[in-house]
Structure 1
Amino acid sequence: MKNLLRANLAMLAVIIIWGISYVSIKVTVVEIPPITMALIRFVIASLLLGIIIRRVEPQTKLDKSDFPKMVLGGLFGITLYFVLENIGVKYTSATNASLIVSVVPIITITLDVLFFHGRISLIKLLGVGIAIGGSYLAVTANGKVEVNSTHFVGNILMVTAMLSWAFFTLVNKSLQVKYSGLFLTTYQTIFGTLCFIPLSLLEYREWKLFSLTALGNILFQAIFCSCIAYLLYIYALKRLDVALTTIYLNLIPVVGVLSGYLILKESVLTIQLVGGLLTLLAIVLINFELGTLQKGPVNKGNPRTAGPLNEEKLYLD
């Protein structure tokens, strides 16, 4: 009973940490250029994950044949994703960002069908259609496309970041058979961090000393979002039914919206909430069809698209 309570508390901590990460990013990009911020964050995260993996899996080695895929995963899942997300959050609200993130599983399913000949049922098709409608409402806010709007540009960057993440999950499919989620996360974080270095040089004119508040937020993102929350997620995933963990993770956008409202005083339109709810409904529909309301095998990886909905779970926000 105590283990069950601890696992539920762990998942509660996970959704709170990942849910408020968008607020943390929004606050930090005011002072630190977005790519530079990502580089600092993931240098710290790489060091911490490297220490952890040496203690937990000292015997696991990366096969040379998997090196290209591991680098590609780091490029899509760390470098491109966080470059696009950090810049996107700079130009949109933390609320919008957290709503848009919920569409990742739908994008992954669509790409799987288009490029990997994945099968799509009527329920999946219905879910994708509902999610597209919900995402449109969340991104446009008023149901109209205003290309000149700063928020619209930020929202499109966020959607592009989700596409990058979806490609990342597909690249990782074969790697998950051979390596643990922690191993994949560690190595792809390291490779992704190395890719940040040349890109960060584009922002050198904006480099300056930053405040303790910005430093605190970067440490929060590196230590809590990229390391502690992920370890808590692994702990909970081993002890809770996969359907329950999926429900928890679907609450992350809710926490994101609430934290944006409470901490940053961001406003959220009713139509955006409707869009977010439609996206969540689509995810529930697809999860129901895939049997997540029953017990099933736990997938490896890391949880941005957690549960049987996708076979990859790398949530580093």
Structure 2
Amino acid sequence: MSKRTLAIFAAIGATTIYGINHTIAKGVMPDHVQPFGFIMLRVIGAAVLFWAVSIFGPKEKIDKKDYLRMVVCALLGMGFNMLVFFKGLALSTPINSSVLVTTTPIIVLILSAILIKEKILPQKIVGIAIGLIGALGLILFGAEIRQDAPNIPLGNFLILMNSVFYGSYLIVAKTLIAKYHPFTFMKWLFTLGIFICLPLGYQELIEIRWGQLPLGALWSIIFVIIGTTFCTYLFNIFALTQLKASTLSAFVYVQPLFGILFAIATGQDRLTSVKILAACLVLLGVYLASRRSQSRVS
């Protein structure tokens, strides 16, 4: 099997993990673990794993001039981003979250225009408008009566804010990603993330009753730490060694499919006309907003 084929499988693996994570993480919250406590487990676990694998990477030190940027990256990518996503997921549904996270390319495009003055072509503007209409539709009209989703509109809004924070992180982290080895970058980012999330997550972390957790919940926690947080990053790194960034980014269109199918198959969510329409608008908007830039890279 060629390396390119393995890279494609790695990209599919990462996308699949991201897709089913919405349902798996949702199944643990809030009955067994509260959202902020879950994030503490995630950043601590990932920090330990990345420090462990960093022995296989180069020995690098972070330049003093990069300290501030590293802290900002940790705030956006390992703090605000994860905290609002898991809190939003606890309040909303797996299908809603799997659809809304795909707005990230649109958010990146908007932030790039604002922060680094990137020109937005008319086709991209149309894509942004369509995608945001779909996202707003879920927030404003996606309310349901569900015991495990106590405030769906607020949850949907927080998930959309996750895309804003993550998009900001991608822009701020660009120079650091190019400068440092991935293991160096991620071990320090997750280490900083522990201290950033500690004020909000400590109380919920110590409230976890480990002796009373069912086996399924334990496996879900392990999946989120090792699979969603650690393996997906490694899979994407390997995929980027063999595939163009534009090719890898196209897998964002597949994530909602995996997320929706898994949520329905496990009985954790159901499709409604609002969700179907919103998903179509979001994916069409992402496609139009990213089509031109992808074709240039190819």
Q: Structure 2 length as normaliser, TM-score?
A: 0.89
For the residue of structure 2 that corresponds to 1:267, the secondary structure is coil
Change (3 A) 1:138 1:181: farther
- Contact 1:138-1:273 within 8 A present in 2 as well: no
Alignment of 1:99-118 (within 5 A): 99-118=99-118
Q: Does 1:216 align with 2:198?
A: no
The verdict on how the C-alpha distance between 1:249 and 1:180 changes in structure 2, with shifts beyond 3 A counting, is farther
**Percent identity between the aligned chains?**
22
Equivalence map 1:162-181=2 (5 Å) = 162-181=163-182
- 1:39-118 aligned at under 5 Å gives the runs 39-57=40-58, 59-118=59-118
Runs of 4+ in structure 1 deviating by more than 6 angstroms, as ranges, are none
Aligned to 1:288: 291
For the residue of structure 2 that corresponds to 1:74, the secondary structure is helix
Q: Distance in 2 between matches of 1:202 and 1:102?
A: 31
Report 1 or 2 for greater relative contact order, CA contacts < 8 Å, sequence distance ≥ 6.
Answer: 2
How far is 1:3 from its partner? 2.3
Distance 1:167 1:141, change over 3 A: same
Supply the distance in 2 between the matched residues of 1:48 and 1:226 (Cα, whole angstroms). 10
CA spacing shift, 1:203–1:224, aligned 2, 3 Å: closer
Distance 2:205 2:222 in 1: 21
Offset of residue 32 of structure 1: 0.6
Preserved contact between residue 38 and residue 82 of structure 1 (Cα < 8 Å): yes
- 1:106 is displaced (CA, Å) by 0.9
Could you tell me whether the CA contact under 8 Å between 2:81 and 2:166 is conserved in 1? yes
Amino acid at match of 1:81: N
Bigger drift between 271-280 and 45-54 goes to 271-280
Q: Which amino acid aligns with 2:251?
A: Y
Q: Distance in 2 between matches of 1:3 and 1:280?
A: 29
CA contact (8 A) 1:99 1:138 kept: no
* Aligned position for 2:247: 244
Q: After superposition, where does 1:107-186 map in structure 2 within 5 Å?
A: 107-141=107-141, 150-186=151-187
CA offset at residue 287 of structure 1?
A: 2.4
CA drift at 1:253: 1.7
Q: Which letter does structure 1 place at the counterpart of 2:283?
A: L
The 2-side partners of 1:256 and 1:282 are apart by 19
Q: 1:137 to 1:181 in 2, by over 3 A?
A: farther
Q: Tell me, in whole angstroms, the C-alpha distance in 2 between the residues paired with 1:196 and 1:254.
A: 31
Alpha-carbon contact 1:100-1:139 (below 8 Å) kept: no
> 1:230 Cα deviation (Å)?
1.6
> If the length of structure 1 is used for normalisation, what is the TM-score?
0.84
Contact 1:11–1:233 (8 Å) recurs in 2: yes
CA distance 1:4–1:32, change in 2 (3 Å) = same
Using the alignment, how far apart are the partners of 1:8 and 1:116 within structure 2? 32
Work out whether 1:190 is the aligned partner of 2:218: no
Deviation at 1:207, TM superposition (A): 3.7
After superposition, the CA RMSD in angstroms is: 2.2
Give distance in 1, aligned partners of 2:251 and 2:72.
Answer: 29
What is the Cα deviation at residue 180 of structure 1? 3.6
* Residue identity opposite 1:55 in structure 2: F
Shift of the alpha carbon at 1:5?
2.4
Gap regions ≥5 residues in structure 1? 144-148, 297-317
Q: Matched residues in 1 for 2:2 and 2:176: separation?
A: 34
CA contact (8 A) 2:70 2:189 kept: yes
Amino acid at match of 1:293: S
Seen in structure 2, the aligned counterparts of structure 1 residues 207 and 3 have a Cα distance that, compared at 3 Å, is closer
Q: Which amino acid aligns with 1:289?
A: R
Distance 1:108 1:295 in 2: 17
Structure 1, residues 17-49: CA drift from partner, whole Å, max 9, x if none?
111111121011131111111111221111111
Q: Distance in 2 between matches of 1:186 and 1:206?
A: 26
Match of 1:299 in 2: none
188-197 or 205-214: bigger deviation: 205-214
Partner of residue 147, structure 2: none
**Which of the pair is proportionally richer in helix?**
2
Structure 2 SS opposite 1:102? helix
Determine the C-alpha separation between the residues in 2 that align with 1:91 and 1:142.
12
Q: Residues 167-223 of structure 1: CA distance to partner in whole angstroms, max 9, x if unpaired?
A: 222221332332244432332122112212222234378443333322211111111
Structure 1 residues 204 and 181 mapped into 2: Cα distance closer, same or farther (>3 Å)?
A: closer
The equivalences for 1:220-231 within 5 A come to 220-231=223-234
Q: CA deviation at 1:126?
A: 1.3
